[in-house]
Amino acid sequence: MNKLHTLILAGLICATSLLAQQNANNIQLELEQKAQRKNILIPDIDGYQTLKGDFHIHTVFSDGLVWPTVRVKECWMEGLDVMAITDHLEYRPHKNFMTEGHNHPYNLAVSEAQKHNIIFVKAAEITRSMPPGHLNALFINDADSLNQKNVDDVFESVKEQKALMLWNHPGWKAQQRDTCLVYEVHEKLIKEGLVQGMEVMNYTEWYPVVLQWCIDYKLAVFANSDIHGISGYTYDVQKGHRPMTLLFAKDRSSDGVREAIESARTIAWFDQQLAGPEDLIKELFDASVNLKSAFYTDDKYRYMELSNESDIKFSFINETTSNGAPEKFELQPRKTIVIRVNKDAESFKVKVDNCHTGMFKNLQLNLM
């Protein structure tokens, strides 16, 4: 047997034994999607960092359908910075065989949050008939102490824990069928600084009147998912986004989040709608959209470029009749459009249809 034969034989032996081992044991397939976090592009505004939060989330420890750690992974993958698990205190359908206390969901998930660089706000949902309805207590120390018969005792405990509250879905028909009122108890809680915000949007519902209340009372607006099922089966988390609360914070920390809420520096973002105070919406629009008002002109038209550096979609309604621009146009996330206006047009007023600054009010701009 010469050297070449030796070489070939050695190769064959080697290949065969490798193959045998592979077949005998296992072959790892590339089936699993390696977890990657989506970077949501929403720019910072002057002096503040823009954080994304969801402050209303359920698990199997109340009437949700998943384990608390799943909630952290979902929020991380979807690009959120801050989250709160808010299981119902008073509604625990499985409590006869799930016997742990109200702090358990937090305790199970907190290290998962730390390992994913998520700000994890300890919380619980106070779940009463109206008034006062449902309120999320945020920044609490102990959920068990909030589990008291008398709702005034609950509020007392919130105060003692130096926590704050958010009024959930004030326009929910199950609790306000034919009315939509701020009750005396809410006014009192607002005055005392215990209620610092309201959900202008919850799950799939949005309440324009609540936006107006928040502006009038100078409270933080919230959009929260109130998720019970699986986020990716409820929202299109690849091309769309879950409802979330944008916070303009001094830094990316629990204290930063709290200070932003207490200063009402938030915008609700849901289903590509923005709702919040006019000044914040305007600042966020300016930081997101880059306008070149006439990069080219020919004998009939000037050509304008609007470039969207964010993941927010903007929808425009042209309010200047006959300037040659289309009546309606859209600027998709991370896209640029060219709009042609008549050369002699002097004005280009638009209403930004998906930017709500009050109950009957939208952001208005002059693009010229």
Site for its own copies in 188-207 (CB under 8 A): 203-207
Nearer to its own copies, 77 or 185 (CB): 77
Q: Can you tell me which of 147, 253, 336, 342 binds its own copies, judged by CB under 8 A?
A: 336
Site for its own copies in 110-139 (CB under 8 A): 111, 114-117
| Count of C-beta atoms within a 10 Å radius of residue 68 | 23
Supply angle C-alpha 240, 287, 78, rounded to 5: 25
Cβ of residue 283: shortest distance to its own copies, in angstroms? 21
d(C-alpha 189, C-alpha 196), whole Å: 9
Nearer to its own copies, 308 or 323 (CB): 308
Site for its own copies in 216-245 (CB under 8 A): 229-230, 232-236, 243
AA identity, residue 316: F
| Residue 28 touches its own copies, criterion: CB under 8 A | yes
AA identity, residue 157: S
| Residue 77 touches its own copies, criterion: CB under 8 A | yes
| Residue 95 touches its own copies, criterion: CB under 8 A | no
| Residue 36 touches its own copies, criterion: CB under 8 A | yes
Question: Are residues 260 and 272 in contact, defined by beta-carbon separation less than 8 angstroms?
Answer: no
Gyration radius of the chain over CA positions: 26
Nearer to its own copies, 160 or 236 (CB): 236
| Residue 66 touches its own copies, criterion: CB under 8 A | yes
d(C-alpha 225, C-alpha 336), whole Å: 30
Q: Can you tell me which of 73, 102, 258, 265 binds its own copies, judged by CB under 8 A?
A: 73
Helix (H), strand (E) at residue 79: none
| Residue 43 touches its own copies, criterion: CB under 8 A | no
Q: Which stretch binds its own copies (CB under 8 A): 38-46, 50-58, 120-128, 259-267?
A: 38-46
DSSP summary character for residue 178: S
Return the half-sphere exposure (C-beta side, CA atoms, 13 A cut-off) of residue 300.
3
Q: Which stretch binds its own copies (CB under 8 A): 48-56, 125-133, 135-143, 302-310?
A: 302-310
SS3 string, 202-258, reads ECCEECHHHHHHHHHHCCEEEEECCECCCHHHHCCCCCCCCCEEEEEECCCCHHHHH
Q: Which stretch binds its own copies (CB under 8 A): 126-134, 153-161, 182-190, 325-333?
A: 325-333
Cβ of residue 169: shortest distance to its own copies, in angstroms? 8
Q: Which stretch binds its own copies (CB under 8 A): 37-45, 82-90, 254-262, 277-285?
A: 37-45
Question: Are residues 33 and 26 in contact, defined by beta-carbon separation less than 8 angstroms?
Answer: no
| Residue 93 touches its own copies, criterion: CB under 8 A | no
Q: Which two tokens stand for residue 157?
A: 């405990």
Nearer to its own copies, 172 or 348 (CB): 172
Question: Which burial class, exposed, middle or buried, applies to 342 when counting CB atoms under 10 A from its CB (0-12, 13-18, 19+)?
Answer: middle
Q: Which two tokens stand for residue 97?
A: 């065989």
Q: Can you tell me which of 307, 320, 342, 364 binds its own copies, judged by CB under 8 A?
A: 307
| Residue 296 touches its own copies, criterion: CB under 8 A | yes
| Residue 175 touches its own copies, criterion: CB under 8 A | no
